[in-house]
A and B are shown apart, each in its own frame.
Chain A
Amino acid sequence: MSIKHGLLALLDQGPRYGYQLRAEFESRTGSTWPLNVGQVYTTLGRLDRDGLAQPDGEDDEGHVFYRITDAGRRELHAWFDEPVSRADRPRDELAIKLAMAVTVPGVDVVAVVQHQRAHTLRMLQDYTRLKMRAADDDLAWQLVLENLVFQAEAEIRWLDHCEARIARRDLTAPAPAPLPAVSDGAPAVRGGRTRKGRR
């Protein structure tokens, strides 16, 4: 999550101070990504260091204002122009869990899938309730919620797919796949078959 670019986007609309930035950031994203004021000041420090924003005086109450620089503006527009890559996000714990569940004997994979799906669906219901209550003119908040809605939906579709794949595997091979043995003298069965098939 790019706090840096979020703050630059706010500063692009005029000089602001830390608490103001935090409050505006949260109201734009409907508090989906809460910030503490410490994160805001740390980020402002980095923006200053990198020449993307700079201090712009204080008001009577001692609030230090920051304003965006030309370099900051270029950085902001580059951010809007670039698609977001998901490649660097942490590996998905759920995918790892299922990958493990289908290979470890004695795990009820179907139950794992079902529990996860019911859980994700409850989250999806919650997002949908929030959507029902969202003000019609608050497009920013609605789009943020819909982002969560579509992500949850994608996860549920993937879980449906997993369930179907597992059911199909269980039809063809009723016994759960055993762990590969190390010393059975046939380490290349899978690899060999694949290679043969490709030739």
Chain B
Amino acid sequence: MSTPVLELRGLGRTYGKGETRVESLIGIDLTVAAGELLAVMGPSGSGKSTLLMLAGGLDAPTTGQVLVEGTEITGLSRRRQAALRRRSVGYVFQDLNLIPALTAVENAALPLELDGTSVRKARATALAALAEIGIEGLADRFPDEMSGGQQQRVAIARALVGERRLVLADEPTGALDSVTGEAVLRVLRARCDAGAAAVLVTHEARHAAWADRVVFLRDGRLVDDTGRQSEAESLLAKDVRG
């Protein structure tokens, strides 16, 4: 079996001390393989967003380890962590995703340029990333010239630009209507089917259902898991077709 794209081992995060101590996450073990879309559900305050921050190296765990493509990021220097984030991990948030002063292609090229790629090469790679999800026609538009759904698709293109294979998405469809939200999830699903790995935090079951596997968090613990499904023809065979 190949190395998982993301692996969380015994992950815990505690905020505060003494009386005000809050255990935000407790003993989380999770792996996400290439080609896999994992959804994380749970009520507000259950630790969903904390999990995503830790997985992306934006916050440090109190206990446990985070491995991205086999490299433990928890022990790395800040500089190397930042480099790993730029090269391996992409983020999609509910809003504030794109930089308003940059066009779609410039937004998508940004992580590569920050990592030292030449402007010309970064632009070509970013155009390819937009083309992969069928929005190369939006390349020269600024964020305020695009709909919310188009912006989120650009954000996904940026998250997966170049060699990056891991997308961490926090409520990426939160501000979108149901049809537009679905279009964004189709893109995320398609990128995973093409070999990327993604963690999707959502409170909407309808969106989580696009994932291969759904886990539930409550009070910082994993309480439930739909498990991995290889080929799910189960439903039509049993429940619906009778």
Contacts of B206 in A (CB 8 A): 124, 128, 149-150, 153
In A135-168, the 8 Å CB interface with B consists of: 148-150, 152-153, 156-157, 160, 163-164
A114 in contact with B224 (CB, 8 Å)? yes
Say which residue of A114, A123, A156 sits within 8 Å of B235 (CB atoms): A123
Tally of contacts, chain A with chain B, CB under 8 A: 68
> Given A153-B206, A157-B205, are A125 and B214 also a contact pair (CB < 8 Å)?
yes
Contacts of B229 in A (CB 8 A): 122, 125
Q: Which residue of A lies closest to B240 (CB)?
A: A32
A153 in contact with B240 (CB, 8 Å)? no
Chain A nearest Cβ from B177, distance in angstroms: 14
Chain A nearest Cβ from B120, distance in angstroms: 37
Interface size on A, residues (CB 8 A): 28
A121 located at the interface, meaning its Cβ lies under 8 Å from any Cβ of chain B in the complex: yes
* Chain B facing A: main interface SS: mixed
Chain A nearest Cβ from B45, distance in angstroms: 11
A31 in contact with B43 (CB, 8 Å)? no
Contacts of B18 in A (CB 8 A): none
Say which residue of A31, A123, A128, A150 sits within 8 Å of B241 (CB atoms): A31
> Given A114-B216, A114-B224, are A127 and B209 also a contact pair (CB < 8 Å)?
yes
B210 in contact with A128 (CB, 8 Å)? yes
B138 located at the interface, meaning its Cβ lies under 8 Å from any Cβ of chain A in the complex: no
B242 located at the interface, meaning its Cβ lies under 8 Å from any Cβ of chain A in the complex: yes
B205 in contact with A153 (CB, 8 Å)? yes
> Given A114-B216, A126-B235, A126-B236, are A121 and B242 also a contact pair (CB < 8 Å)?
no
B239 located at the interface, meaning its Cβ lies under 8 Å from any Cβ of chain A in the complex: yes
A114 in contact with B236 (CB, 8 Å)? no
B189 located at the interface, meaning its Cβ lies under 8 Å from any Cβ of chain A in the complex: yes
Q: Mark B196-231, 1 if CB is under 8 A from A, else 0.
A: 000000001110111100101010000111110100
Q: Which of A34, A117, A163 has the most CB of B within 10 A?
A: A117
B77 located at the interface, meaning its Cβ lies under 8 Å from any Cβ of chain A in the complex: no
Contacts of A156 in B (CB 8 A): 205
The 8 closest A-B pairs by CB, nearest first: A126-B235, A124-B209, A156-B205, A128-B209, A153-B206, A125-B209, A153-B205, A114-B224
A interface vs B, CB < 8 Å? 31-32, 34, 114, 117-118, 120-130, 132, 148-150, 152-153, 156-157, 160, 163-164
List 20 contacting pairs A-B, 8 Å CB cutoff, sorted by A: A31-B236, A34-B242, A114-B216, A114-B223, A118-B216, A120-B205, A121-B209, A122-B226, A122-B227, A122-B232, A123-B239, A124-B205, A125-B209, A125-B211, A126-B236, A128-B210, A132-B186, A132-B189, A148-B240, A153-B206
